[in-house]
Amino acid sequence: MQKNLSIIIPAYNEQDLISDCLDSVLNQTADPESYEIVVIDNNSTDRTAAIARNKGVRVEKETQKGYVHAIQKGVDVSEGKILAFMDADCRAPANWVSKILRNFEESPEIVALGGKLNYFDTPLIFSRTMKSLLFFADALPGNNMAIQREALNRIGGIDTKVNLSVDFWMSLKLKQAGRIKIDKSLIMLTSGRRFEGAFTSYLQYGVNVLSMLLLARPLFFNFPDVR
């Protein structure tokens, strides 16, 4: 029987954090038969894949390095009607899957769903500041979004020429296909480590957003790995 939802988790050298991530999605309040978990090992050189397999989840390998190639692999190998995306440094609340499914059941016209982020490893003032800044954003956050597979197919799938800010690119495309809903109660806990190790990538992300709005294309492709 086809799963209602596929959770796609791209991972590169995430042995320190992926265990907590997988525990969070393995212990959901939703019926475990209603969703599947697919970890995409994006050429890890550590124990990421082994840890995921020991948790009993499906692991697929994508040899072409890059977030966009990893999530594309996840789309290709998964079977869910709804595709949910999170990162390996995230921790999903126990009701995350059930909230996603309920949103699509109650609003069948929506093509995609996004939520909000909280940071579990940063000073409280930083977490509250970022939460406030992101509160009014109406784009899909790449580590807390769910998309109807059929809608993704309608927009031509994921454009693998867009890596950094691919979530914003999908937001723009999906808004042309139908309604996107942002559920501010759909919270994902995530790490703030990237702010410490790769702040320039956030500047590049912002430039990409402006470039997509003005020029319909990104200026930057890659962003540095932070571990």
Domains and CATH numbers, the chain: 5-194 (3.90.550.10)
Measured N-to-C along each axis, helices 96-106 and 18-26 cross at an angle, to the nearest 10 degrees, of: 50
Question: For position 151, what pLDDT does the model report?
Answer: 97
Q: Hey, is 225 helix, strand or coil?
A: coil
Question: For position 53, what pLDDT does the model report?
Answer: 98
Mean pLDDT in order along the chain per 10 residues (227 residues):
90 97 98 97 97 98 95 97 97 98 97 91 57 62 96 94 83 94 94 61 56 55 57
Asked if 123 contacts 33 with a C-beta cutoff of 8 angstroms, the reply is: no
Question: For position 168, what pLDDT does the model report?
Answer: 86
Q: Residue 169 burial (CB < 10 Å; 0-12/13-18/19+)?
A: buried
Who's near 224: CB < 8 A, 6+ residues apart? 197, 198, 200, 201
Place of tokens 């309920």: 102
Burial 194-221 (b: 16+ CB within 10 A, else e): beeeeeebeebbeebbeebeeeeebebe
Question: For position 49, what pLDDT does the model report?
Answer: 98
In whole angstroms, what is the distance from residue 172 CA to residue 214 CA? 12
Question: For position 225, what pLDDT does the model report?
Answer: 62
Question: For position 5, what pLDDT does the model report?
Answer: 98
Question: For position 207, what pLDDT does the model report?
Answer: 58
Token pair of 168, please?
Answer: 């914003």
In whole angstroms, what is the distance from residue 107 CA to residue 56 CA? 33
pTM of this structure: 0.84
In whole angstroms, what is the distance from residue 74 CA to residue 10 CA? 8
